[in-house]
Chain A
Amino acid sequence: MSQIFPRSANAIVRFSLVGVLLFGGLVASIIGMSMRSDYVTGANSNVDQPVQFSHLHHAGGMGIDCRYCHTSVEQAASANIPPTKTCMNCHSQIWAQSPYLEPVRASWKTGESLVWTRVHDLPDFVYFNHSIHVKKGMGCETCHGRIDKMPGIQQKSSLQMEWCLDCHRNPEKFVRPREAVFTMGYEPEGDQLEVGRKLVQEYKIQSLTTCSTCHR
């Protein structure tokens, strides 16, 4: 009985074995990359809001502190989206006739809430608290990016678990002095790792990576 496969088939088999491994690796990395892509995480794309609010103008241009509006960021889990009253503190007189601000004035008159679109939405099985991060010297900018340069609002970080762990494992890579937490464009005095290690000790920052730190 003649052989079904020619001798060259041996080479093809070897190539195929390597090929399957390579192809598998390629598929795995494509999946890995797409799971981390901005398309999946929602990072770096503008989120439409009912009012064209610009952090570039308010936080950047006018230099208003984050806490003027996000009042509970130092005490609570949620940083707080300001009520319409906070907008009206200034806009009762400034840009008081602007059509852009019509939804704000309508909300002020009727008492109905402005329905803002949520930008940062962690899964419900993750516990996150702003106040402890702020107290331990995590800057707004570290997670939220240069908010003072955003005309429209964007999520800057992936919010994926590996991103959280990157800092929870090595807080010295990101920690900054408490005075600089609300500063945009902070530059460490000297090497970040050196400064960071000192601050980690000073602020008694623990590297919390147990599951129940966040999944509680």
Chain B
Amino acid sequence: MAIALTHARTARRAVPPSRAALAVVLLSAALITGCRQDMHDTPRYEALEESDFFADKRAMRPIPEGTVARGNLREDDVYYTGKVDGEVVHTLPAQITVDKALLDRGQQRYNIYCAPCHSTLGDGNGTIVQRGYKRPASYHDPRLRNMGIGYFYDVITNGFGQMPDYSAQVAPADRWAIAAYIRALQLAQAGTIDDVPAADRGVLEGGAPAAAPEASHGGGAAHD
């Protein structure tokens, strides 16, 4: 369109044709170079880009079934399934050490991926459940309190009932961290005042930490 306009204008002003032609060429060149995006969009794929080469239009290729990344053969049944001979394990696999870092990681991952339904307390009344999703069992049910820790790993990996699997969203190490944190939630909800170190009990009863004298208490019912 720019070219056509320039033609019209040059004709009216009766500029010599050679100079008019030069102007048109220069102007067009300027306009065209201004619009080129070759360097912005080089012929290579970015993450999740559409491809016109593959039939499913995905530049990122799905991994063929049975592919094993070098050094990632999942031979360790306990670690990768949470089960031994079809029975869930009751202890964490040997690779996992229970420490503050593991539980912190578990809490963080739990709050991201599990809390929307299971709630931050683990009672199964998360925001998604309040919006109509089938309510999951509370972790504080005797059935789940007595379940081996491998069960939680297995459910995160494969889903259970209405719960979809989270194998794509949560890596194996994080599944164990979450399972350990669920145990911590269970202990916390069933805790009694006797589980609190003597020095910290004052905090729960409204006093100052450590400095408070050992108060007498019945124990049992008081928990946060």
Measured CA separation A83–B48 after assembly (Å): 10
**A185 in contact (CB, < 8 A):** no
* Stretch from A12-20, A86-94, A195-203 forming part of the interface with B: A86-94
Measured CA separation A63–B42 after assembly (Å): 38
- Asked if A113 meets B58 with Cβ closer than 8 Å, knowing A78-B47, A90-B128, the reply is yes
B-side interface mostly: loop
Question: Do residues B162 and A115 form an inter-chain contact, with CB atoms below 8 A?
Answer: no
Number of contact residues on B: which range applies?
20 to 34
Q: Which residues of A contact B134 (CB under 8 A)?
A: 93
Minimum CB–CB distance from A88 to chain B (whole Å) comes to: 7
A-side interface mostly: loop
Minimum CB–CB distance from A74 to chain B (whole Å) comes to: 11
Q: Mark B9-53, 1 if CB is under 8 A from A, else 0.
A: 000000000000000000000000000000111101011101000
Question: Do residues A124 and B46 form an inter-chain contact, with CB atoms below 8 A?
Answer: yes
- The closest CB in chain B to the CB of A67 belongs to B112
- A–B pairs, 20, beta carbons within 8 Å: A63-B116, A65-B111, A71-B168, A78-B46, A80-B47, A85-B168, A86-B168, A88-B164, A90-B128, A90-B133, A93-B132, A94-B128, A94-B131, A94-B133, A111-B56, A113-B56, A123-B39, A124-B40, A124-B41, A124-B44
**B74 in contact (CB, < 8 A):** no
Number of contact residues on A: which range applies?
20 to 34
Measured CA separation A16–B134 after assembly (Å): 78
Q: Mark B135-175, 1 if CB is under 8 A from A, else 0.
A: 00000000000000000000000000010100011000000
**B57 in contact (CB, < 8 A):** yes
Q: Which residues of A contact B113 (CB under 8 A)?
A: 68
Measured CA separation A173–B18 after assembly (Å): 57
Q: Which residues of B contact A62 (CB under 8 A)?
A: 116, 127-128, 131
**Interface positions of A (Cβ within 8 A of B):** 62-65, 67-68, 71, 76-78, 80-81, 83, 85-86, 88-90, 92-94, 111-113, 115, 123-125
Minimum CB–CB distance from B35 to chain A (whole Å) comes to: 13
- The closest CB in chain B to the CB of A82 belongs to B169
Q: Which residues of B contact A123 (CB under 8 A)?
A: 39-41
Measured CA separation A83–B174 after assembly (Å): 20
Minimum CB–CB distance from A26 to chain B (whole Å) comes to: 21
5 new A-B contacts, CB < 8 A, other than A86-B168, A93-B134, A113-B57, are A90-B116, A94-B133, A123-B39, A124-B39, A124-B42
Within 8 Å by CB of B48, from A78, A89, A93, lies: A78
Considering the complex of A and B, which 5 residue pairs feature the smallest CB-CB distances, nearest first? A78-B47, A123-B40, A65-B112, A124-B42, A89-B164
Measured CA separation A113–B127 after assembly (Å): 28
Measured CA separation A80–B60 after assembly (Å): 12
Measured CA separation A62–B44 after assembly (Å): 37
Most buried by B among A68, A78, A80, A125: A68
